[in-house]
Chains A and B, each alone.
Chain A
């Protein structure tokens, strides 16, 4: 079997185990509520958002509904993979796996792919449902480019959180630390990032929360590049012509690449140095 075939095969086993596990049964209702539920709500023809805004295009609805990805799907990604390594470490299985002559980098890649696939498959399925819901409620499909960006960027944010959770799992000696680290990172970027943005704005002398103040919009846009959720929204905003936060598209994609490459590289290094 080739190296790639071996990686694919191990990933498929992880995917099968996680996809049909109890944890997934618990998460599915959450995902259903957050993804198709939000798409249904935001595509209501009578919806008026705070500030009097009304979504007018299918992509705009998906952009708002992407809050479901940020709040729900990323949390599920963390909860699926937080014990990807620590569980094996606790049971002694890690020592058995590390004793096999499969390069540790390949083992890390199989872990990432396996856990990513286990969250991507239900999320992508529900995203297709979102597209159908928007079509039914608004009579409009997203175009190919919008759909592609929607799916790729969602795949990327789930990859980032999977990588964070697995990194935490390789570092933690026991399950509690692994879940605390994984959920902590998720909590920080999902809920506390606004606080970081506010503090930086205050320190920079920028009026906080003034949506019409170009300085605030630019600062918030720049700081968002430092957060995976922010980068995710920047990626989606590339398909919203009415939104301009002063961040060029190349910077957004560069940040996306950095958020992909750096944690993946860190995970590979951790795996290389891992002691059972």
Chain B
């Protein structure tokens, strides 16, 4: 198991929102944000931070990037196998790619990185290496106005990697990318993780994170409901072991699967064929179907979607969750114990 490099302990940042009164028109009150969050980031791991719109993903990333101050809590950095030290300025450790940066102007790709590099103390030759890494080397003298969306995303990654950060934060990195660019982007992220960079990706599109992340954090109403290795969280929330099988012809599934422990989730059938989504012993089901000569057209494990993750983590149904997204209330939620060193 990779070692934790950064630990956020009871951190909080709630946005101040205007609450004017007759006697105090400039008054503000604490609104939504991140509440008492504990999270550890691991070397070389890719954490997918998922949650619906308004869950606090961007706020959390901005806190982790040192852009928003911590109102409470602390951040610790591992300095060796046993010792941890307080982090005063997260910005020296963390590279941050915001959700959307409209790189624009007559400045060239290399010059904008040089400018940002000066703010970080990064040298010129390192910038050339970064442009190579993100595949923008041949566009180094291109004006920002002439870049495509995919190139802008790559430039954002290069900007986030200035200063060789230990942690890389990517806010909705797949937005606006075509499938080819998304694939290239995924490979780049995996290369960085292999080099030991801890990566956090926020997204409300869980499907896009499939095959990319190895850990998942479920964020809702500013609270981290659960976090850990993907398989562990799936098991904890009983979202593991789900499969869908489809075939042709008429079959009596109840009869065929008699005696096998199967929890049917969905069963559809029409004149073209049938499909069954279930939780249970996949191997036994498959064996039973094949041994009875059933013609199968597909067989696949079912990955949970965002709604299923959130419903399982909060114990709420989908209607309640969507209503809660619209609300700015910061009521405590059911959360699973997280943050223990694995």
**Residues of chain A at the chain B interface (Cβ within 8 Å):** 1, 6, 9-10, 13, 17, 90-93, 95-102, 107, 275-276
Contact = CB atoms under 8 A, between A and B. Distances in A.
Given A10-B119, A276-B67, A96 B101 contact: yes
A98 B90 CA distance: 12
Interface in B84-121: 89, 91-92, 94-96, 98-107, 115-116, 118-121
B27 interface: no
B41 interface: no
A17 B105 contact: yes
Contact of B118 (A1, A91, A92, A95): A1
Interface in B300-325: none
6 contacts: A17-B105, A92-B101, A95-B67, A97-B116, A99-B66, A275-B67
A101 B93 CA distance: 9
Interface size class of B (residues with CB under 8 A): 20 to 34
B115 A99 contact: no
Contacts of B107: 17
A276 B68 CA distance: 9
Nearest to A98: B67
Among A1, A17, A101, the most chain B Cβ lie within 10 Å of the Cβ of A101
B144 to A, nearest CB: 10
B108 to A, nearest CB: 12
Given A100-B116, A101-B92, A101-B163, A92 B98 contact: yes
A1 B115 CA distance: 13
Given A17-B107, A95-B62, A96-B159, A102 B119 contact: yes
A270 to B, nearest CB: 14
B101 A99 contact: no
A6 B104 CA distance: 23
A92 B119 contact: no
B116 A91 contact: no
A96 B91 contact: no
Contacts of B119: 6, 10, 97, 100-102, 107
A101 B119 CA distance: 7
B89 to A, nearest CB: 6
B116 A96 contact: yes
Contacts of B106: 17
Interface string B214-257: 00000000000000000000000000000000000000000000
Chain B residues touching A, majority SS: loop
B65 interface: yes
A174 to B, nearest CB: 14
A260 B290 CA distance: 84
The 8 A-B residue pairs with the shortest CB-CB distance in the complex, in nearest-first order: A100-B119, A92-B101, A101-B91, A102-B119, A99-B96, A95-B98, A91-B102, A101-B92
Given A101-B163, A275-B68, A276-B67, A91 B104 contact: yes
B26 to A, nearest CB: 13
A96 B92 CA distance: 13
Given A10-B115, A101-B92, 7 more contacts: A92-B102, A93-B103, A96-B101, A97-B119, A99-B96, A99-B160, A100-B119
Among A92, A97, A100, the most chain B Cβ lie within 10 Å of the Cβ of A100
Nearest to B16: A275
A101 B65 CA distance: 10
Contacts of B67: 95, 98-99, 275-276
A97 B115 CA distance: 10
B98 A100 contact: no
Contacts of A13: 115
A194 to B, nearest CB: 30
Contacts of B105: 17
A100 B100 contact: no
B104 A276 contact: no
A269 to B, nearest CB: 14
B202 to A, nearest CB: 14
A178 B78 CA distance: 44
A100 B62 contact: no
Nearest to B93: A101
A90 to B, nearest CB: 8
Interface string B107-151: 100000001101111000000000000000000000000000000
B65 A99 contact: yes
Contacts of A95: 62, 67, 96, 98, 101
Contacts of A92: 98-102
A101 B164 CA distance: 13
B101 A100 contact: no
